[in-house]
Every structure is written in C-alpha cells, then in structure tokens.
Structure 1
Amino acid sequence: MTPAFTLTVFGIPAPQGSKNGRPIYKGRGKDRQFTGRVALQESSKKVGPWREAVHDAARVAAGPDWICLDGPLLAEFCFTFARGRTVKRLHHTVYPDLSKIIRSTEDALTTAHIWKDDARVVAYHNPRKLYVGAADPDALTEPGVVIRIWTLGAAQ
C-alpha cells in the first residue's frame, strides 16, 4: 500500500512533553501578589526548532494543493540520531524518549495541516530510533526523521 504522505526531515529530533512552570505575579515590590496561575513552557529548548523544521518541510512537500488528511491514519516514524564516538551499543536506548519525539513531530504535522489532528492516528507502523549508518533502510546519513502516513479508509 502506497503512503498518502512521505517526508524526510533533517535536523535534531527533540522531545515534547515535559514542561516547566513559572508562577505569574501581579504588582511590584511589596504589593507583588501571586495570581494563582502558572506560565508553562517546554523544558527542551530544542523542541521549537525541531517542530519548525518539520512544519516547514511538510508544507513544502505537501504543496499548495494539499488536502488535509482526515479519517483513520497509520503513521510511521523512523528517527535517526548521531552516534557519539565512544558509543558501541547497537540500539539508541538513551534520551530522548521515542514517544516524546513522536509527540513533537505529530504536533508539527498538525500545525502544517498535513492531517486534521494527530488524534486521527489509530496505529503506528514500526516506530523506531536508529543511529546514523544503521543497517535499517530508513536510517539517514545525518540526524532527522523519515515519516510515512497511510489512510485507512473513509472518515467516520
């Protein structure tokens, strides 16, 4: 089955999920009071540039006549990371978490209007993290991701 959308993005995949909170105050000096609200921001400073790279590449790949995917979808994400000079292990078993880099990438595809919402993804096909030069045919020559999306039928 041919994917409805295929994309390769180069860059350093960054996770989304953990957030840091900063209390919001009103007033100054001794009149300063906590408002009861907290401003949240992503704990990873790399997530913004990663999401932007995915968003921009997706918009270019989709083209001006792209029709946003809706209905049940199957998604595949194959992330490639640089291997440190001293790393001997075969599998990428360290930070970032696969689920969190999928989350940031899915959100970028949503803002790029590749699909109506990442909630439309009902299944994943072989999501994985690899090192540059791995034997996997989707391993890239530099850090990035290969994305494939299949439609699974008409919208419900």
Structure 2
Amino acid sequence: MTKPAFEITVHGMPGPQGSKTRNAAGAMYESSAKVKPWREAVKRAALDALAYDETWQPIRDAVRLEVVFTLPRPKHHFGTGRNAGVLKASAPQYPTGKPDTDKLLRSTQDAVKDAGVLLDDSVVTDTVAAKRYVLGGDDTLSHPGAIVRVCRLTKPKESQP
C-alpha cells in the first residue's frame, strides 16, 4: 500500500449529505442538520493541514479516498443502574443503521474538494469507507469523527517549464 498523499483526523459528528427537502416556499435544503457542521469540520481540518504545505496543489490525478467514520454508540447499547456504562452482550459490533455510509462519504468528499485537496471530486476513482463505533478497532477514534486519507493511484506528474 502506498503512503497517503494527504491524511487528516476530523473531530465532530459525521453528517450525511444527499437527501433534500422542500420547504413551504419551495426552496430546497438539506434534510440533515448535521451536514453543514460536518462539512465545515472536514474543510477546517483539511485547511489546517494544508497550511503547513506552501507548495500544495490540488490533486488532479486519480485517487483513492479512504474514510473511517467513528460514530457514538446509542444509549440502549449500554446497561442501566449498576451496569451503566457497561456494553450489553447483545450490542452489535458494527453500526448498521443510519446514517448511510455513501451519504457520509458524499459530504466528506465534497468538503475535501472545497478545501482544495482535490481539483475536483471526479478525480476520486476508488473509495473505501467504513462506519465504526467509538473505540471499535483499527482507525477508530475515542470520540465521533473520521480519519480521511487520499492516496494517489498514479505518480504525480512532473512540473513542466
């Protein structure tokens, strides 16, 4: 596996993008109130990382986008009373409910592009995405957020005079 060309850790509640709703006046808006703060968190993390690389140019060649989303466990996964904070044996290992992985990926990919990591989101030809619970294994965080990696699939083109 190649070393990522770009990698960030984003803190915050991942927000899905995709479903739109029309209000009484006919204007369209995102159904999820979480999408705007999430996109801002991803963009801010990306811009902060790029601030240390004065030579960075948005990637224009084919890339693989890898994202591991870390989601909080629902309260009903834990016991009550003296077992408060103890994970129930019946609690699932993986988050199979909403938000959908593809919608989380869409909001994250758009924010990475908006930050100037990618020239356009069409350069993403491969994606690897996972949803995990907090502290649920490799590449998971101790709080909600995501680890985002962009890997070049081809060697960067040499600068031409």
Normalised-by-shorter TM-score class: 0.7 to 0.9
Gap change, CA 1:133 and 1:41, over 3 Å in 2: same
Name 2:68's counterpart in structure 1: 78
Distance 2:96 2:45 in 1: 27
Distance 2:6 2:156 in 1: 17
State the Cα distance separating 1:22 from its structure 2 match.
Answer: 3.0
Aligned mate of 2:114, from 106, 111, 115: 111
Structure 1 length as normaliser, TM-score?
A: 0.85
Name 2:85's counterpart in structure 1: none
Distance 2:18 2:63 in 1: 22
Distance 1:85 1:49 in 2: 23
Query: Does the 8 Å CA contact 1:72/1:155 hold for their aligned counterparts?
Result: no
State the Cα distance separating 1:124 from its structure 2 match.
Answer: 1.5
Q: Can you list the C-alpha shifts for 1:6-38, whole angstroms capped at 9, x where unaligned?
A: 0100100000000011364xxxxxxxxxxxxx4
Name 1:141's counterpart in structure 2: 142
Name 1:30's counterpart in structure 2: none
State the Cα distance separating 1:85 from its structure 2 match.
Answer: 3.2
Name 2:6's counterpart in structure 1: 5
Q: Can you list the C-alpha shifts for 1:39-75, whole angstroms capped at 9, x where unaligned?
A: 2110111111110010011000112522111110111
Query: Does the 8 Å CA contact 1:72/1:154 hold for their aligned counterparts?
Result: no
Residues paired across the two proteins, number: 141
Residue identity opposite 1:100 in structure 2: K
State the Cα distance separating 1:89 from its structure 2 match.
Answer: 0.5
Identity across the alignment (%): 38
| 2:54 is equivalent to residue 53 of structure 1 | no
State the Cα distance separating 1:117 from its structure 2 match.
Answer: 1.2
Distance 2:4 2:31 in 1: 33
Residue identity opposite 1:128 in structure 2: A
User: Which secondary structure does the structure 1 equivalent of 2:110 belong to?
Assistant: helix
State the Cα distance separating 1:152 from its structure 2 match.
Answer: 1.2
Give unpaired runs (5+ residues) of structure 2. Answer: 78-90
Aligned mate of 1:131, from 122, 133, 139: 133
Aligned mate of 1:97, from 93, 96, 100: 100
Distance 2:156 2:9 in 1: 26
Give unpaired runs (5+ residues) of structure 1. Answer: 25-37
Residue identity opposite 1:79 in structure 2: F
Q: Can you list the C-alpha shifts for 1:76-99, whole angstroms capped at 9, x where unaligned?
A: 000001112322001110110000
